Copies of this chain bind each other. A is one copy, B any other.
Amino acid sequence: MKRSLGAKTIIYPTPVLVVGTYDKNDKANAMTVAWGGICSSRPPCVAISIRKAAYSYGNIVERKAFTINIPSETHVKEADYFGIVSGRKKDKFLMAGLTPVRSKFVDAPYIKEFPFILECILIQTVEIGRHIQFIGEIVDLKANESVLDENGNLDIERVKPILFAPVSRTYYGLGRYLGKAFSVGKEI
């Protein structure tokens, strides 16, 4: 028998996505969002939900582009900071001591120090309620050499991503390897 807890917005794991944008003065901004994820394979797309009040909201509407920057464990403070403070008041990159780099393919900055990033072009905007969902087509993934394996593929154990737990509002690291997908289930 399960206990009812009401209409809570909890799934585990929830990602820690740092969204990179430019404002109208070309100032780079970064904002952390937890509501998002990959939403399509073809075209390759990622969805992020942002409140209209957020500074990044206007930046994305204006520039029609954003980056998704995935932090490592070592960036937990910076990632959290980007979710606390508004870019309207602060130069968040400067405060956090991180470096914005102009993307090659889209009109948005990415974070040099984060292990990998997605360059995205806005292709759809979905009104849900207090949050607006932006769907961005992923045009490139860029990664630091240090998080690639010997075959040049992204290695999650080198990335050491951060996981967010909603409601309890806590961060966790990557745990132990559990098995190969599309494989362990064949034993059933």
Q: Which residues of A contact B (CB under 8 A)?
A: 1-15, 17, 34-47, 49, 68, 70, 73, 76-85, 95-96, 104, 110, 112, 116-118, 124, 126, 128-131, 133, 135, 137-145, 148, 152-156, 159, 161-188
Contact = CB atoms under 8 A, between A and B. Distances in A.
B178 A41 contact: no
A143 B45 contact: no
Contact of A130 (B42, B148, B164): B42
30 contacts: A2-B142, A4-B141, A6-B141, A7-B138, A7-B140, A8-B141, A9-B38, A9-B44, A11-B68, A12-B161, A13-B161, A13-B174, A35-B37, A36-B37, A39-B49, A41-B131, A47-B133, A76-B179, A80-B181, A80-B183, A81-B185, A84-B182, A84-B185, A156-B165, A156-B168, A163-B175, A169-B180, A170-B181, A171-B178, A171-B180
A-B pairs with the 4 shortest C-beta distances?
Answer: A80-B185, A81-B185, A173-B175, A37-B37
Given A83-B185, A156-B165, 20 more contacts: A5-B142, A6-B140, A11-B17, A14-B37, A35-B37, A35-B38, A35-B40, A38-B166, A39-B128, A45-B128, A45-B129, A78-B185, A154-B167, A169-B180, A170-B177, A170-B180, A171-B184, A172-B176, A172-B177, A173-B178
